[in-house]
Amino acid sequence: MTASDSHILAPGEQPAVAVANPGGTGPVVLVCEHASAAIPASLGGLGLSQADRLSHAVWDPGALDLATAMSERLHAPLVAGRVSRLVYDCNRPPDVPSAMPVRSETIDVPGNAALTPAQRAARTDAIYRPFQAALSAVLERHGGAVVTVHSFTPLWHGTRRDTEIGLLHDSDARLATAMMTNWSGPLKAELNAPYSATDGVTHTLAEHAIPRGRLNVMIEVRNDLLTDAAAVAEVAEQLCGALSRSLAQLATRCTGKQLTTGGAA
């Protein structure tokens, strides 16, 4: 099978998305777009070296563990990607180059270098559209805020990143700014770091939360803070505390406007 084949995923590799805790009735819907490093066999490893196959370019290390821990604490549904973001980045729309990048930081992606329109469409249909459909289905039955969970590398082009936890927003800053106000604990949170909406990283929020009027936030955690279960639990505890306090605070401020903060719809 080649990269031009419309059947990107073999039967044993399907589906492209997983929904954990689908019956959760907590205050949020969690999303982890970059949860997996899996590359379908049909794509021949995208031409990556073995050393690059588990790098941060391929997925968000620790993000799924964190999102799962938050799902358990908040009794919340979790929508997670099951395919590497280098195959298709589900936090990007189909018409941008970064949806199927030819380079990520210092890592070239030979398998993405000369994709035809048909090959791009095949990946979009196999990965992106099922992910979007699954997330939409969860949001149709659950009225919670949309919270996306990511991790980032401590070193970017050789420069150390001091940010520990980033709270990002798109056009609706309510939840991110409330979490900054309600933040407490040993780890430091920053607003719109190490990225912001101007970097094109808030597609899921813009596509699913903003049109529905949902409270929303994108969480970025430096991946060296997610290296074992104890560390993940510590980060999850701080994030869930700030989220819960902020959602309660925002709910009390609701005066006549619809403010969807949680629970099954």
In a domain, 5, yes or no: no
Domain count for the chain, please give it: 1
Residue 260 has pLDDT above 70, yes or no: no
Beta-carbon contacts of 206 under 8 Å, excluding residues fewer than 6 positions away, are 170, 171, 197
pLDDT tens for 9-20 read 999 998 999 999
Scanning the structure block, which residue is given the tokens 């309660």?
A: 248
Kindly state the DSSP code that residue 97 receives in the 8-state scheme.
G
Element (H, E) at 216: strand 216-222
> Would you state the pLDDT for residue 149?
98
Choose the weakest-confidence range: 40-44, 64-68, 137-141, 158-162. Answer: 158-162
Q: Which CATH number covers residue 237?
A: 3.40.630.40
Q: Is residue 2 part of a domain?
A: no
Q: What are the pLDDT digits (tens) for 203-237?
A: 999 999 999 999 999 999 999 999 999 999 999 99
153 in any annotated domain: yes
For the four alpha carbons of 167, 93, 98 and 69, in that order, the dihedral sign comes to positive
Return the number of other C-beta atoms located less than 10 Å from residue 229's C-beta: 10
pLDDT of 250 above 50: yes
pLDDT single digits (tens) 148-168: 999 999 987 778 999 999 999
Task: List CB contacts of 241: < 8 A, sequence separation 6 or more.
Answer: 182, 184, 185
- Look at residue 196 in the predicted model and tell me its pLDDT: 95
Q: Give the mean pLDDT of 86-103.
A: 97
Q: What are phi and psi of 182, to 5 degrees?
A: -95, 10
Q: Is the pLDDT of residue 133 over 50?
A: yes
| Average pLDDT value for residue range 128-142 | 97
Domain with 173, as residue range(s), is 11-252
Specify which residues 205 forms β-bridges with.
none
- Whether 261 is in a domain gets the answer no
Whole-prediction pTM value? Answer: 0.92
Question: What is the pLDDT confidence band of residue 105, given thresholds at 50, 70 and 90?
Answer: confident
Cβ neighbours of 174 (radius 10 Å): 17
Residue 61 and residue 75: Cα distance in Å, rounded?
23
Cα separation, 136 vs 152, whole angstroms: 26
Residue 6's pLDDT band (boundaries 50, 70, 90)? Answer: low
CA dist., res. 25 & res. 22, Å (int): 9
Q: Per the domain annotation, does 260 fall within a domain?
A: no
What pLDDT, on the 0 to 100 scale, is given for residue 204? 98
pLDDT digits (tens, 9 = 90+) for 168-195: 999 999 999 999 999 999 999 999 999 9
